[in-house]
Structure 1
């Protein structure tokens, strides 16, 4: 055996050792890819019931939203009716009630002032003049 043949045997042995060392991570990578494939397949199989449930939930939500739309439309109608009723009440009874209250206040004030003059109550007369803005 010549030194060149020995060197070739050493090189061949090193090459075999290198191939074996590289084969181990490649085998492990293959197993990991197989597991990933299985996991993806299971996720795909289990996604169908999930999508069915999500679709059912969305249908229920849409039903509830339609009900809420009806409720808000009714509330809008009620507020419009209340607004119209309030403006009608203010127009028909508000003005006359204010005038009647002002008249009754004026009459009671005049009667108090008249009683104060009749009764000779000097203090009542002064109080009446002070309220009107007269002299003390």
Structure 2
């Protein structure tokens, strides 16, 4: 099952990333200018930065983002974004499979994941970004 979900996530990412990646350049709060993915880039960029006396630099991080994402909310937001971009809403059905078919094996017992997205799934970063931007 894990392999099937991994392949499905990659296919979904292949089709949606060109459109949803554009969210960074079209949405004020999610622009690449304000979003830093690699900490080493951030350090090199601020190394020679001088702030005015009335300026303060802040940095925020979301703790346990992937494991705390509300799946149903993410799917609703994703569906709305598909409609806004004139993309097939059937992608939301695929996303639902990717986000709700996760199971855990712990001490020889299976558990179904209720909320949160898989940290290793290719589609999870896109879903997390869409949720944060929304």
Q: Tell me the TM-score normalized by structure 2.
A: 0.19
More helix by share: 1
> Highest CA radius of gyration, 1 or 2?
1
